[in-house]
Every structure is written in C-alpha cells, then in structure tokens.
A and B are shown apart, each in its own frame.
Chain A
C-alpha cells in the first residue's frame, strides 16, 4: 500500500539551531505513528513543515504521492491533512460553530449561511461521536472541550491524515483516555494519524509505530511491541534515564507554611481560589494535583504576594506574610520557582550572574550598602553554575541566550540555594528536557531533605505522584482531598481532578 505521507530528508535550520536534519518518515492509511522526543527535539517543526506552517530548507513532502511545495498550507489542507495544534488555534470570543467554519464558510449569496453552518457542526459532531454545543462561546469552555473543537475543525474537511501536536498536555487523565479512544476510532476508520508526544505511556497505549527524534535527528524507529517505556526513554535522551525519583521517606517536622481560607480572583475577576486551607510541614513535599485552570496559578501567586488575597492569610512559622509584597514574602522565607520563568523568573537581558541574585542583590555579601560586590557575585555564580549543572559558555552570558532547561536551572539554583523555609515550585519542569527534569527533581528532594517545606504545583500527574509525600487534589479553587503520596491511586486522583469523585 502506498504511503499517505512520505517525508524525505527534511532539513530546517533556524539561526544557530538545526531543528530538523535529514528526517524521513512515512504514515500509511489507518496507521497511528507516534512522534516521540524531548522538548526541542524538532517534533513540532517537522509536523508544521508537513502542514505548511514552516518552510523547510530542503527535503521532500509527498502526500498521497503528490509533491507538496514548501510552506503551502492551502495545498496541505486540500490534500486532506488536518492538524490539531499544541496551542489551540481557536478564537476565544467566537462561538464553536464560527470557529469550526472559519476559512471555509457555507454561504448564502454573500452572507454566511448560519443555519447550514450550525447543521454542519451538529452533523460533524454526531458522525465522530464528539459532542459539542455549537452555540457556546469557546472561551467559556473547559480545555478538554476546546480540544474537541480543534479535532472537529481538523476533521471537517474529510481528512485522511490527522496530525496531533502534543494533544494531551493540558488534559485530565480521563480526557486523555477519551482522546486516545477517539484516535483509535479514527485510525480504524482509515485515517492516518501522526501523533506527537513526550509521554511514553500514551505511545505504548495507541501507537502502531514510534519514531523517536533527538536533537533534530531521527534517533530510532520501533514499535511498542518491541520495546518498553525505559527503552523509549533511552532512545529519546540517548542514555539511561531513571524514570522513578529516588527518595527516602520524608522526615516530617513541624508545620512551616500554613494557608488559611485563602481566596483570590483570576485575571478576569472570577473567583479562582475559593477558601483554600493547607498546612505544609518542614521536610515534606506537598504536591498539588489538578487540571490546569483550577486555581493553581492564582494560588501560587497569592501565596507569593503577586496577586491580591481577597480573604485569608498565609503564615510562615506562625507569622503572617504581607499581601502583594513579593519581596517581603520572600524575605520571610518563601522561595518561588514560578510557572512562567520568562516572565517572572528571569530578566532575559541580564547576565546569569545577576539573575542568580535577583531577589537578594541588595543583601550582603552581594552588596555593601549601595555598592555591589562583584567578587561575591562572581563567586556565587561560579558555585551555582557548577552545583546546578547550568550549561553556559560563561556566567556573563545573558539568561535569554540559554536553552529552556538551563534557564529553569538558573531559577531553581537561585531559589534553592538560599535555603529558605518554604519552596513553592510551580510547574518546575515545564518545557524542560528529560535530563534536566531528572536533575530538578533531585534538587527538590534534596531541599526537602534539608528541612524545607516544599509546595509542588504541577499539571503533570506523574511528576506529582513520583515526588510528593502528600498530595492535595485541587478542583474549582478548593482542595478536594489530601492523600498520602505512597498509596495514591492514579485513576482515583484523575477522577478527583475532574471533579467526579471525592
């Protein structure tokens, strides 16, 4: 059988980076091919090239045998390629119907035939068994539903090849199961699926074949039958990886961080944190599990003084921390590894040296009164670069020039090197390669072992499960349950995260 998609020697370079180097790949009808790789391995670039969103420097793209010219989205769509993007390509203020018909609207004269458009959406959702409300406004819908719209959008034009770019990143475990079911159904209906992910479990569950990319090159191709998760991880990283975090039992001490009836709004002024109370002991890692958008971000910001606390208080060692004064909150002993390192963690145009003292630059030994002590700064930077394995040409290099993983290590180094009583780590390994994840996890465990109270917020359930001594499940701005980390059941937590069970 001829291949649906045939890529030959695709190469794409960006200034200073080779995103794809001589990659060849094929997908046939009804086949699910998983494209596996770390962040920055070039997966997204490759599929964007297929869809015409990225113009490869060289190489050949053939769909159903026809040569597709580089950077031609329209031609790709015409040949039956549909793509579900990693970042949803939906207009938030428009309705589901409007989003699905955009670009190819049913018409009546010069006007949009709204009735027909709606019928089309209803029929489409029936046909694939993906239920949606055609009149709902997209921004009011949960992410799982938004993704469903993305998939319907892609399926609308009778696609033969469906590309999914990290479709499971923002879903609950239940939504992931559902999505994998949908993918299987599509494949058995004859659709070829090219599915990008860095989650090994998903690959093992649905893929017929796996292609692994590393540093822009094909690192290997295999099938789930021939390998296992460890084998795939090794292909991905190029060396042995310890998937399970090695840690001893927590030595729990007294309560250090205590959050009392905290309430905070999100940016749209809706209640996001709704009466949240939690105690975290010294020497334990408390994981907050939850689907993104259930108030975790607002919780972290309210704790760290970056978002107004409407009610309630945050105590460190029994002392109340001030509201909306991040600097003072930090002085009282709360370190913060922020979710968005580019925005809140680093100053991209400052050197690594300066970034490593961002919240203590005015304290001795880094400053004597008004004068900065360059020796102390350099010494500090050199020590931390060494200790935290920050891969950089020099400590004077600007933080913006580092890779995602190394940027994150700078933030982690700064926050953990101060030996604060509390560490609030929000999505500490987001967008970071597997090697750095392993390292950051070790550092968090070591902070715990040194007696810090660690509050870990992560959308990755695996991360929560492998690190936490206790797990608080958050849903709708509240804690649904607190479980012991050891006997936490993945499926049960998943249901709680979706607000189903208690």
Chain B
C-alpha cells in the first residue's frame, strides 16, 4: 500500500513540476496518456471480470481484434457509427460466449481456449479484410460544459469522445459492483473457491457464463473505441498486442479495476512522454526502440509484480460439481 501512495505522490509532484514549467505540453501529454491508456484499461477489465470468476482469458487480444473489425466494417457499410458500436459490442459478447463454451462447458484448458480465440480472430479478420474502406467520421469529441474549462483537468479529463467517458464510467461501475454488490461477492467467491459458492446455492456455471459474456462485451466496447473513436481506420493486426499488455496491467493492478486503470494510465504516460520527446527531438533514438517501449514495459511490469500478487485461487480450473 505504501509504495502505491508513494507512486501517486511522485506522479503528482512530477506533473505539477512539469505543468509549472510548460502547462501546454504537460496538459497535452497527460491527455494523450489517457487516450493511450484507456483502451488498455478497458481490455484489462475484460481480464479482471473473467479471472475474478475463475476463467483465465488470454483471448482478449482476439476479442479486441474481431470486435474492432466488425465494428469498423459495419460502420463503413452502413455509414452509421452507432450501428458499428453495437455490432462491435455484440461481437465481443459472442467471443466471450465462445470462451465460456470452450472453457466452462467443455472444460477445455483455458490457455488453449484463449489461444483458439486469438487464432480464430487473426484468421477470420485477415481473410475477410478488404482494403480501401473508410468510415465517414470518428465519434466526435464532446466537451463537458463547465468542467472542460477547468485548467489542466478540463482538457485532460473532460474533452474526449463519448466512448472514453463510457469506458471510464464503466470501470468505476465495475469496481463498485465487484466490491459492494451481491453479484460481486458471488463472483469473487466463484473465482476463489467455487464449491463454497455452489454449496451456498450460487450457480457457478451460470455466473461464469454471465461474467465472461459481459466481459466480452466490454472488450467489444474497447475494440469499438480503438477503431471508431481513436483511429478511424482498421488494418490487419490492428489490436497490436494490447490484449496481452492488458493482462499484465491486470496483474499489476492486482485484479482490481481501479488498480488496473492506474497501471494503464501509468503505461499511457510513459508512452506519451516518449512520443513527446521524439517529436520535440529532445532525444534522438531510432524509432524502432520507441516502438518497443510498450512491450519492454510490459515485461518490466510483470517482473516487478511477479510473486507479490495473489491471483484468484480457482483461476483456470474447470468446476466439477460432484467433486465438491
């Protein structure tokens, strides 16, 4: 706990210092950090929801890929962003249900089930991909009246597209739901010790299905955000490993939504700062090295948290009722 507060304090002081030196650049860097970090945070929520109920989901990458694909091409074909969003979320939920079918019903090894989703997503999207499609626009930025004119916090937090707000709000909703509602208590019990939940009359199978499907829908939202709000296009391998990075952030955030959000923003900040340094040519290192940054950071994060965090105890184990 103390190290976390220390991290907060250092971050705060650092931001304050840079803000005093150059308010414009600092604001833009932190704003970018949120833009970079949010899709990772949302993807990490997929992992948290699944693993909290005991299902390891390494198919987040596939969910992001396939849902952004479907979202983009639906929006492109129909010219309607909302339709694109809905189809992306639905596709995400479907990928979640597929994982449930493989891992919960068929009790397949969950790592393999996730890998299947990733391979399917890569294969299908590459096969159906056609070049030259565009969408009319991305989701426009919505400035929250009043709040957006606060210095620093306004541009950083309140000048984003609708999916950004939705994502941030949903992360807090998930956090509250996980720790304050019966659903959350039951979900965590299922992830820690499923037979206790079962003997207390909670259906392990139903809850796992439900949560993995909702998590998939969440991943669909993240996919929609990436293509329909952030980038505005789609290309092969579009998700670029974000689903795997998200797993690292989930672990770093100790399977806690707020923790993972913090980790994601830290991650986004590192990337935003590097970008800024490159653009202003303060440092000149080959671009290949800066492109490596997310992956190097992921490895570092995992190395730091390894052994110090405790995963949900029943993670990865199919539930066998009669052995209870």
**Interface residues as binary, A176-197 with B (CB distance below 8 Å gives 1, 0 otherwise):** 0000000000000000000000
Q: Which chain B residues lie closer than 8 Å to A104 at the CB level? A: 200-201
**Interface residues as binary, B309-324 with A (CB distance below 8 Å gives 1, 0 otherwise):** 0100100000001101
CB-CB contacts below 8 Å: B188-232 with A: 188-189, 192-193, 195-202
Given A85-B199, A104-B200: A94 in contact with B324 (beta carbons within 8 A): no
CA distance A48 to B189 in the complex (A): 21
B184 nearest in chain A by CB position:
A112
A53 nearest in chain B by CB position:
B324
CA distance A74 to B198 in the complex (A): 10
CB-CB contacts below 8 Å: A83-127 with B: 83, 85, 87, 89-94, 98-99, 101-105, 107, 110-112
Pair A53/B322 contact, Cβ less than 8 Å: yes
Given A112-B180, A112-B182: A91 in contact with B189 (beta carbons within 8 A): yes
B180 nearest in chain A by CB position:
A111
Given A91-B189, A91-B192, A91-B196: A102 in contact with B322 (beta carbons within 8 A): no
Pair B321/A102 contact, Cβ less than 8 Å: no
A73 within 8 A of B: yes
> Shortest distance in angstroms between B142's beta carbon and chain A's nearest beta carbon?
28
> Shortest distance in angstroms between B320's beta carbon and chain A's nearest beta carbon?
11
> Shortest distance in angstroms between A49's beta carbon and chain B's nearest beta carbon?
11
**Interface residues as binary, B166-198 with A (CB distance below 8 Å gives 1, 0 otherwise):** 000000000000001110011011001101111
Pair B195/A110 contact, Cβ less than 8 Å: no
A-B pairs, top 5 by smallest CB distance, nearest first, are A103-B200, A89-B196, A105-B182, A91-B193, A89-B199
Q: Give how many A residues have a beta carbon under 8 Å from the other chain's beta carbons.
A: 28
Contact of B199 among A73, A98, A107 (CB under 8 A): A73
Contact of A92 among B180, B193, B200, B322 (CB under 8 A): B193
| Extra inter-chain contacts (6) besides given A89-B195, A89-B324, CB under 8 Å | A48-B324, A53-B324, A74-B201, A89-B199, A102-B185, A112-B185
> Shortest distance in angstroms between B314's beta carbon and chain A's nearest beta carbon?
10
Identify the interface centre among A73, A103, A105, A112: most chain B CB within 10 Å of its CB. Answer: A103
Given A77-B201, A104-B201: A94 in contact with B189 (beta carbons within 8 A): yes
CB-CB contacts below 8 Å: B281-324 with A: 310, 313, 321-322, 324
Q: Which chain B residues lie closer than 8 Å to A83 at the CB level? A: 199
Pair B192/A93 contact, Cβ less than 8 Å: yes
Q: Give how many B residues have a beta carbon under 8 Å from the other chain's beta carbons.
A: 22
> Shortest distance in angstroms between A200's beta carbon and chain B's nearest beta carbon?
27
> Shortest distance in angstroms between A383's beta carbon and chain B's nearest beta carbon?
36
> Shortest distance in angstroms between B26's beta carbon and chain A's nearest beta carbon?
38
CA distance A90 to B180 in the complex (A): 19
CA distance A104 to B185 in the complex (A): 11
B191 nearest in chain A by CB position:
A91
CA distance A112 to B178 in the complex (A): 11
Contact of A111 among B181, B193, B321 (CB under 8 A): B181
CA distance A102 to B198 in the complex (A): 10
21 interchain pairs (CB within 8 A)? A51-B199, A53-B198, A54-B322, A73-B198, A73-B199, A85-B199, A89-B324, A90-B196, A91-B189, A91-B192, A91-B197, A92-B313, A102-B200, A103-B186, A103-B197, A105-B182, A105-B185, A111-B180, A111-B181, A112-B182, A112-B185
